[in-house]
């Protein structure tokens, strides 16, 4: 049976999602827990791999197992996993369901702390300098009008295309935080952190609007002015068509 897992994690102590030799990763820990419960190796496929230090509120993965008591499986996995990884939901889906290829939209939120914070220190970027929020909002809107995001993809990635379709891109100030929400059909490796880092450089006056547009049109990641720290980024949700998950 194919199972869909909805996962929440604090990525602070992990070397990203993807399993790596001699590194502690989210995928590696969940597969380890699955093997303990099921007495056999299990591979899981995710909707999108997150970088080291990046968090997720509703990450999605699928796997194929033979264990009909899903409530028991869910409890067992959460009993084995460290508290910074939580399996929020497990449900059976059609055998053709694919966590990555069937996803139609992913939504991330990046949080900038405008004042010092203790509780949110691992989930936001404390930024002590004034920011031109109007200019940053203009830049966020600009991203919905372009599709080629080569400038914002890390070097040596395996992408064959750099086209992404951003449906939502907006900054909102909420109490002592400036939050950037972005939704797209797909994201490139390191893309959201690149978008945020560039908008922050624009907002603090390190680059002007002409330079901002020029570096995007240059399609050269080596011209990227800054990469925002991983700790401020959270994968909020992955969206699927209802028919893809229907039994």
Q: What is the spatial distance between Cα 77 and Cα 65, in angstroms, rounded to a whole number?
A: 14
Looking at the chain, how many residues does it have? 247
Catalytic option among 51, 102, 163, 176: 51
The bridge status of strand 177-184 relative to strand 85-93 is unpaired
Contacts of 37-44 with C-beta under 8 Å, sequence gap 24+, read: 37/67, 37/73, 37/76, 37/77, 37/80, 38/65, 38/66, 38/67, 44/5
Contacts of 50 (CB under 8 A, 6+ apart): 11, 16, 17, 26, 56, 59, 233, 235
Contact 34, 63 (CB under 8 A): yes
Cβ–Cβ under 8 Å, residues 228 and 157 = no
CA triplet 219, 145, 131: central angle to 5 degrees? 80
CA angle 143–208–176, rounded 5-degree value: 70
- 51 catalytic residue (yes or no): yes
Q: Which residues are catalytic?
A: 51
């Amino acid at each position: 049976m194919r199972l869909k897992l909805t996962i929440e994690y604090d990525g602070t102590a992990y070397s990203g999602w993807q399993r790596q030799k001699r590194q502690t990763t989210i995928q590696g820990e969940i597969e380890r827990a699955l093997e303990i419960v099921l007495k056999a190796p299990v591979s899981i496929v995710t909707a999108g791999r997150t970088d080291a230090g990046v968090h997720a509120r509703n990450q999605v993965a699928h796997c194929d197992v033979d264990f009909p008591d899903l409530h028991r499986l869910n409890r067992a996995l959460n009993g084995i996993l460290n508290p910074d990884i939580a399996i929020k939901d497990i449900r059976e889906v059609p055998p053709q369901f694919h966590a990555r290829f069937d996803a139609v939209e992913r939504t991330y939120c990046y949080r900038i702390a405008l004042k010092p914070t203790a509780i949110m220190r691992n989930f936001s970027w404390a930024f002590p300098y004034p920011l031109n929020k109007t200019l940053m909002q203009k830049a966020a809107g600009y991203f919905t009008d372009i599709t080629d995001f080569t400038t914002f993809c890390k070097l040596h990635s395996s992408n064959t295309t750099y086209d992404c379709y951003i449906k939502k891109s907006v900054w909102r100030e909420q109490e002592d935080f400036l939050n950037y929400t972005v939704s797209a059909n797909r994201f490139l490796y390191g893309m959201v952190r690149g978008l945020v880092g560039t908008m922050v450089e624009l907002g603090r006056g390190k680059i002007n609007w002409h330079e901002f547009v020029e570096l995007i049109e240059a399609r050269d990641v080596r011209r990227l002015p800054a990469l925002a720290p991983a700790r401020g980024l959270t994968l909020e949700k992955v969206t699927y068509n209802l028919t893809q998950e229907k039994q």
